[in-house]
Structure 1
Amino acid sequence: MTVSDTKIAAVKRSGAGDTRFRALTVAAAAIVVLLFLGMMAALTEGAWLSIRTFGASFLTSQKWNPVTEQFGALAAVYGTVVTSVLAMLLAVPVGIGIAIFLTEICPRTLRRPIGIAIELLAGIPSIVYGIWGLFVFAPYFQEHVQPWLVDAVADIPVLGTIFEGPPYGIGVFTASFILSIMILPFISAVTRDVFETVPATLKESAYALGCTTSEVVGSVVLPFSRAGVVGGAMLALGRALGETMAVTFVIGNSHRIHASLFAPGTTISATVANEFTEAVGDIYHSSLIEAGLILFFISFVVLAAAQIMLRILHKRAGGVAA
């Protein structure tokens, strides 16, 4: 065999290896798509009886009565959205602040221990957060935080309505607070990693021009890494939307929509977790599965919107969307 024949054989072997590698990666991606479609099909099949029975009223009614077999998921959808959004409002500023401290201000000897301590919060089981919220935060909020806040904003038109009523301790606000603690490690860890990718030359140039640390963060670090920050926030939002046990412990599990954040409420995941094993009758069972299908759809929409937002931010930054 000549040298040229040997080279041709080597090229063919390399091409065959690339073909096999490509086939494996395509198969791996196809498995994810098939799992997604299979999950959607299974949920739709299980929820079909409820969809056919209640139609659009399932999303517009908050009546949830297993005795009369009348079900509406509006209160659960409302609780899911409100607790997740409020948790994001509480956690995102704190998470970004932690990331800024660890990357720009914290002494190097303390960065790793503090970073590990924050990341360990993500490993705590959700049921532990729920027990902690029920036996620690709920009594404290009931005795100190909620009465003070009710009196402080009683004469303010909008805030007086949002924070009114008897201090139960448990409720939508407490559930949102626990959720914010649970998603905090995701936001701070991702944001910190993104901040560390900012080229040192950019920050050093800003410092050389006389910028303060706050000016460097606001004018260099955040603009350079905003797409990553948004991605970390959306990851945390996806975590908050599907949280179950911690919310179940402290939200009160009431199928009613209240204007006050201190009132009890419920979420889709809490409703399914509380009632699925006790569901008697096909329509009750199907209604819970439809609630799960709605949560699946909400999560899908949120993550899809996050991807679109990231592409827009990437294009505005001068990159090419993948």
Structure 2
Amino acid sequence: HFMLKEIHDQPQALQDTFAGRVDFETRQVNLEVSPEILSRAERIHLVACGTSWHAGLVGKFLIESLVRLPVEVDYGSEYRYRDPIVDSRVLVVGISQSGETADTLSAMEAARQKGASLLSVCNVPGSQATRISDGVIYTHAGPEIGVASTKAFTTQLVALFLLAQALRQARGQKVEGEDLGALAHLPQAVTEVLALEPALEEMARRYARAEDFLYLGRGINYPIALEGALKLKEISYIHAEGYPAGEMKHGPIALIDDELPVVALATGDRVAFEKVLSNIQEVKARDGIVLALTDRPAEELEHVADEVIPVPRIHPSLQPVVNVIPLQLLAYFIGVRRGADVDQPRNLAKSVTVE
């Protein structure tokens, strides 16, 4: 399948996204975007649809934490109809693999009419999004044929990480060497995660008959929970929901029984880990099935989780890139197991060019 090939393309695709754009010695980031656009922005709006919207949610975390600028993330289809508060001090970033997504383009046009600067994060040179933008960050992921987005998503995350660093630079803030240095280790970390493939294929066999799935994440992992759930529903047709881990007790906990697999993203600092661990214990107390993804020693979770998915720890800003890979593989193998056409799922199109 193209999808499996594209999942395996990711170490190289991620390398290609930052290649030539980062000078690790001088800690400089060079994007094809005028520094003036970046230095004058007072607020940032990220607009996108589907998986690209999940990338935007991660982008909000990155930009707000690294640059301390306020960021809004909206769906293209919502943004243009709510008369957003936009003027020349707003930088609007459209995120679209194809650069042809109708709702995202319309949102960008609406913002332009209000005086905003436009950037696009895009994978297709010469596409409509790139033509209407003041600057473009190409993701350089290479062609993506599978309808469910994999390498386009992770390269968008790296592009947004680079955007955050470029914003810092343009605004005279210090770019941390360890932030940039972490990029150099990312392809290797992703290669390590891809080695989990046989274990994930085996796991898929055990849970392919589930009717529902719940994905839980906290902080920067919440968008990854959403993305994991979207991948599963797109290619296996299993109803799946992503939720902030701390919100579980405000509703979804009612759904938990011995038939519900819960994928819990347990990476991050000790506080975040302890919180998700307590969510895992709440699920187990109600006989739920827990698949825990963690960057900690497996023994910290083996006593509570049914399955432990170990991932390498990397810089917190890049951890989402590593964490989503096993979720892509799990969705892929469950889809294959259920006999679905994973490259061409029913009712879906690669580029949604209608409104």
TM-score by length of 1: 0.27
- Of Structure 1 and Structure 2, the greater strand share is in 2
TM (norm. structure 2) is 0.25
Greater per-residue helix proportion: 1
